[in-house]
Amino acid sequence: MAEFLKLKKSNCKNCYKCIRNCPVKSIRFSAGQANIIGDECILCGQCFVVCPQNAKEIVSGVETAKVLLMSGAPVIASVAPSFVANYDGAGIEELEEALKKLGFTAAEETARGAETVKNEYDRMIEQTNRDIIISSCCHSINLLIQKYFPEVLPYLADVVSPMQAHCKDIKRRFPGAKTVFIGPCVAKKDEAAMYPGIVDDVLTFEELADWMNEEGVTVEKRRDTTKPEKGVSRLFPTTGGILKSMKCDSPKYTYMAVDGVQNCIAAINDIKNGDIHNCFIEMSACVGSCIGGPVMEKYHRSPVRDYTRVNAYAGKDDFGVDAMPRADIEKTMPAITIEAKEPTEADIRAILAQMGKTKPEDELNCGTCGYNSCREKAAAVFKGRAEISMCLPFIKDKAESFSGNIINNTPNGIIILNEALEVQQINRPAMRIMNIRRESDVMGEPLIRIMDTADFARVMESGRGIYNKRIYLTEYDKYIEETIIHDSEYRVVMCLMRDVTAEETEKAKKEEISRQTVETADKVVEKQMRIVQEIASLLGETAAETKIALTKLKESISDE
């Protein structure tokens, strides 16, 4: 399958909204990013519609259309009947006028091809003995049956879509012409590629709008609002619109319209189980049918208004298109095999165990991962389409357990507060520091009940944290080293406390010993100085007496 829906990887991360809304789970996740599995996708476009980051984009056909216009061949647009919902106040004449400014030769309504298709449906009901007939206008429904319910293929009408019928008719009437279909559907791009030579290019309304803006072309709003007599097949893009254009007069059949992939799957299962008989079922992948197509829904979803516009533009009678040869109307839709190895029960149990689900009651089946059940998610993991980390309850429990182990087993005290400085969480070391017996005694209470809040207020006001500041908690006779951080994103204040009372006590003891040592040394020095001084004094007196005696002896000798 050609790639018509692609991913802008830079915008896709850990969301899972697309897989939650994908009816066939044809999305693979790797490193938290979504990748569409083309072989399994039915191109319903729901992932494109619901993506909050606009990470899914439809591959544009504008460049191909420009090449066709430059080829020299006449290029004729087949415009889906839902265009009146997209271009308020404009009819096919006004839209054709705008398209000619872009280089198109002409523009016609796909509703003409829809009339050919509904005529064939009426013939099938009248001339065949089919038990159940499923309309084949919606390519997404065709792919759904071809890929996932091949046993129901005999009930799928082997009739071309209105797009194909109209483009075949255009090429019959204008030999050598190229056709470009314009509508609200991404699946039509795949249909054109799957059946080459009928539709040469497909544009969405959004692509056409961008192209017109680029060229400065506008669609005038000059449509005659008088109710047209012809064109009942213009109702095709609405739920039940096919049935409204058909005769529906065979008493053998019950006629019903089913829209939305999930509703269609339920109906198909009823057919598989033999619960439905003698029915003509109009099936549309989009809720509201084509006016609820992915491009319409993504950018301007308004089902009631859009239905009103389509209904106002539709006539009461047929256009009266020429009949086409049966060979041009018939369409072969074979089964499309999807290769996928299915897990055994042991495989599923092993993967469930990795997600912390060892008992049936552990399987919450919450659907947050996008899968309907934990077992379905485990099977997707086995097939390489999902990751263990997509189980949010498991990741949440794991994170809480991890953080809980850290908070409860760290030797440091931790207090978590809200911005009103009320206690939200406190661990056992913090409770020991502040002599708190039970956690419930302080949970939800103002911090000021147990400690001074000045530093906390300063951090919140300045936006700057305090790191490793030593303070004395007078009321608890404790010294702590505190770190206070304000997380403005999660609106919490965190305080980490390290009890340094023992360090401060040891430091005080050392300081006391040092003081006493200094005092002792001072006393010893003082005493030694006093002794030295006394010795010096004694030595001084003895020397003086000796000097006097010697002097007298000298004098006596000299006299002699």
pLDDT at 407: 77
pLDDT at 467: 95
pLDDT at 125: 96
Contact yes or no for 58/5 (Cβ under 8 A) = yes
pLDDT at 552: 61
Cα angle value 153/156/162 (rounded, 5°)? 140
User: With respect to CATH, is domain 342-409 assigned 1.10.15?
Assistant: yes
- Strands of the sheet containing 178-183, edge to edge, are 106-109, 75-79, 178-183, 201-204
Neighbours of 53 (CB within 10 A): 12
pLDDT in tens, the chain (560 residues): 568 988 776 678 778 889 999 999 999 988 778 889 999 999 999 999 998 888 888 999 999 999 999 999 999 999 999 999 988 889 999 999 999 999 999 999 999 999 999 999 999 999 999 999 999 999 999 999 999 999 999 999 999 999 999 999 999 999 999 999 999 999 999 999 999 999 999 999 999 999 999 999 999 988 887 778 899 999 999 999 999 999 999 999 999 999 999 999 999 999 999 999 999 999 999 999 999 999 885 676 788 999 999 999 999 999 999 999 999 999 999 999 988 788 999 999 999 988 888 888 888 888 888 888 999 989 989 988 888 888 777 766 666 666 667 777 888 999 999 999 999 999 999 999 999 999 999 999 999 999 999 999 999 999 899 999 999 999 999 999 999 999 988 889 999 999 999 888 888 888 888 888 878 877 877 787 788 777 767 766 666 666 665 566 556 655 55
First to last CA, the chain: 147
pLDDT at 516: 85
Whether this prediction's pTM lies above 0.85 is answered by no
Rounded-to-10 torsion of CA 174, 179, 183, 189: 150
What are 532-542's pLDDT values in tens digits? Answer: 777 767 766 66
pLDDT at 272: 96
Q: Which fold has domain 410-499?
A: Beta-Lactamase (3.30.450)
> In whole angstroms, what is the distance from residue 2 CA to residue 531 CA?
109
pLDDT at 98: 97
Q: Which of 399, 391, 397, 395 is nearest to 374 (CA)?
A: 391
pLDDT at 116: 98
In the chain, list all ranges with CATH 3.30.450.20: 410-499
In the chain, list all ranges with CATH 1.10.15: 342-409
pLDDT at 74: 97
pLDDT at 21: 93
pLDDT at 558: 56
pLDDT at 183: 96
Q: For residue 230, count CB atoms less than 10 angstroms from its CB and return exposed for 0-12, middle for 13-18, buried for 19 or more.
A: middle
